[in-house]
Amino acid sequence: MPTLFRFVVTIAVLAGIVYGAMFALAMFVEPKRAEMTVRIPAEKLNPRKN
């Protein structure tokens, strides 16, 4: 039984570290906001029908 307990504790610690890293990324990293323009050729908007 001690081996199973050690395994469960190890998995719980790893899950806690992953959760903590995800939480830190969500709280402390801000996305950059920028305007973006993309030119679309007229041929793609109005394709010719044959």
Residue 18 lies in a domain: yes
50 within domain boundaries: no
Domains of the chain: total: 1
Tell me how far apart the alpha carbons of residues 25 and 44 are, in angstroms, rounded to a whole number. 39
Note down the domain range covering 23: 2-45
Residue type, 26: A
Q: Output the pLDDT for position 50.
A: 61
Please report the sign of the dihedral spanned by the C-alpha atoms of residue 15, residue 17, residue 20, residue 21. Answer: negative
Q: What is the dihedral of CA 37, 42, 47, 49, to 10 degrees?
A: 170
State the Cα–Cα distance between residues 41 and 44, nearest whole angstrom.
6
Q: What integer pLDDT is reported at residue 41 of this predicted model?
A: 84
If you ran DSSP here, which 8-state letter would residue 18 be given?
H
pTM: 0.56
> pLDDT at position 43, please?
79
Residues of the chain whose pLDDT is less than 70?
49-50
In a domain, 16, yes or no: yes
